[in-house]
Structure 1
Amino acid sequence: MELTPYVDSLRGSLAAAAQAAADDVREAADRLSYAVEPSLRLTLIEAFGDAAAEITTQLDGVSVDVRLRGGNPEFVASDERVTAGFTPPQPPEPPSPPPPPEADESMSRISLRLPESLKTRAEEAAAADGLSVNAWLVRAISQMLDGPQSGVHISLGRRVSGWVR
């Protein structure tokens, strides 16, 4: 992070304040702005360090540090869980295809009309699961009617992905 714009801003503020004074005061303010620069840079770095420490206390397992590179501070965030051997949980196994119907259970046929976009999405989802569209629809309907199986629950109208701790 480049500190020069902030130092220049302070210099500009001092020069603007000195404009109302005599020439010797303006000259003194200009010299003072250059003399204060190292102290101002150090104060800003300390403020950044305090801010990084406060942010670290609010984040679980993440550490934020301020490091100097070429005289300029930079923020570095480290996920301590990864460095401590933490591995994210593996996604659950996909549910198995629906069980075959019982021997005495007869099969029924149903005509289903779907918008083309929904049909395409169902075909893509079935292909991703390695199932036929029919088997995928049977599984989806079974899960909706019988409740979640193997930790999977289908909810209509919302798509959620990722991990939550």
Structure 2
Amino acid sequence: MDLTPYVDHLRHELAVAANAGGDEARALAERLTAPLESAARLTLLNALSAASDEITRELAPGSVDVRLRGLDPEFVVTAPPAPETSTDSGPVAPPVAPPAPLAVEGDEGATARINFRLPAPLKSRVEEAAGQEGLSVNAWLVRAVSTALEPGGGAGRPTARAPRHGQGYQGWVR
């Protein structure tokens, strides 16, 4: 998506507004347009990123990602996987619906960005699992975290670590 027409439109609107203020305002607007271009592009990218997050929440388990190519954003749409059909006459299990995104009281629809560091082998496994399900890594991680935090979502998993006894550990193993 080319952001240049939108930035040019903003520059034009600033010039029109400056014309009403006379020669000094026009000169000031001309000096401000170059530094404001990068701020306008960044603001548009933030708006597009927020929009893709909203769309991804509605499209789950599909997703929409915004990637930057040079100065222009590019949308990458990952469609939800199509339900599998069976060729034999046996019953077909209905697809499992993904958990609904968790809503925090008073903060509906807001998203937060975090840095998440994984060991390289685990990152590879996450990427592979996301690819097998036709999801972006971000959408897969959001779904995994949502599932783990839902009541009963982490079935069989303890909510706290098992206590240590001597030199050994006691608890569950997968």
- Larger fraction in helix: 1
Structure 2 length-normalised TM: 0.47
Structure 1 length-normalised TM: 0.49
